[in-house]
Amino acid sequence: MNIGSRDLMQNKTALVTGASSGIGEATAERLASAGYKVYGTSRRGAQAGQRSFAMLPLDVTSDESVETAVTEVLRLEGRIDLLVNNAGFGVAPASAEESSIEQARAIFDTNFFGIVRMTRAVVPHMRHQGGGRIINIGSVLGFLPMPYMALYAATKHAIEGYSESLDHELRTRGIRVSVIEPAYTKTQFDANFVQPDSRFVRPWAEAARRARDEHP
Ligand SMILES: NC(=O)c1ccc[n+]([C@@H]2O[C@H](COP(=O)([O-])OP(=O)(O)OC[C@H]3O[C@@H](n4cnc5c(N)ncnc54)[C@H](OP(=O)(O)O)[C@@H]3O)[C@@H](O)[C@H]2O)c1
C-alpha cells in the first residue's frame, strides 16, 4: 500500500510557539498544508487576519501560561505529536557588558527556559501516547561565536546542549528531539530587538555598529 506523507500527518497535532510572525508563522503554515492540525501561539493570542492554523495565547516565560496552552491543546485534540519551540528574541548588537544581569536573565527566560517549560509540560503526554517529536529553533550562533551578540549566542548554545542531551534521554521512549540552527532569515527579528539596558560610551562603538549592519 502506498501511503503518502500527507496521510501520515493526518490526525496529528502540532504546537508551534511564536507563530505570529517569521519562522514560526511559516512553519505553522507549512505544517498545516502538510496535513497537521496546527496550534500556533502568540503572547497576544488570536489576532485579526486569516491563518491556516488556530492561535492560542502563550507567554513562554510564564509557568501558568505554558500549562494553560498545553492543557487547551490536549482538551481540544487529546494529543500533541509535534512541539516546535520557536519563540525567541535578541538583544541589539552591543558589547556584552551593556546588558544588565536582569536583561541576561530575561533573554534566557524566553529563549532557553521557555523551551524547558514547554518541554516539561509536553513530554509526559508524549511519553504516555508512546511517541512524539520536539524541534527546537536554535541559531547558527548556537555553535559559532559572534562578538556583540554574546547573550543571544549563549542562549542558543544552551539550546543546542539541552536538545542534544534530551534526545539521548528520550529516544528510547519514541520521542525524538532535534535542533534547527538557521543563519540570517528575513523576519521581524531585528525589528523586535530589545535595546541593551546598560549602555555606556564605548571605544569599540564603531565595531559594534558594523556588527549590527552586517548581522548575518
Ligand atoms: N531571523 C533570523 O535571522 C533567525 C536566525 C536564527 C534563528 N532565529 C530564531 O528563530 C526564532 C523565530 O524568530 P524570527 O526570526 O521568526 O523572529 P520574529 O518574527 O520576531 O518572531 C518571534 C516570535 O517569537 C514570539 N515570542 C517572543 N517572545 C515570546 C514569549 N515570551 N512568549 C511567547 N512567544 C514569544 C513572538 O510572538 P509574539 O510577540 O506575538 O508573542 C513571535 O511570534 C527565534 O527563536 C530566533 O532566535 C532567527
CA of 42 to the centre of ligand 1 (A): 10
Q: For 60-91, write each residue's pLDDT tens digit.
A: 999 999 999 999 999 999 999 999 999 999 99
**Cα–ligand 1 centroid distance for 86 (angstroms):** 6
pLDDT of residue 1: 37
Range of the domain at 94: 3-214
- 20 CA closest ligand 1 atom index: 43
Please name the amino acid found at residue 73: V
Comparing CA positions, the residue from 90, 155, 162 lying closest to residue 120 is 162
pLDDT at 2: 45
- pLDDT 10s digits, 104-144: 999 999 999 999 999 999 999 999 999 999 999 999 999 99
- Structural domain total, the chain: 1
List the CATH number of the domain containing 36.
3.40.50.720
Percent of the chain at pLDDT exceeding 90: 83
Listed residue (24, 44, 45, 27) closest to 36, CA to CA: 27
pLDDT at site 52: 94
Pocket of ligand 1 (CB under 6 A): 17-24, 42-44, 58-61, 86-89, 110, 137, 139, 182, 184-185, 187-189, 192
1 against 59, higher pLDDT = 59
Active site residue 39: no
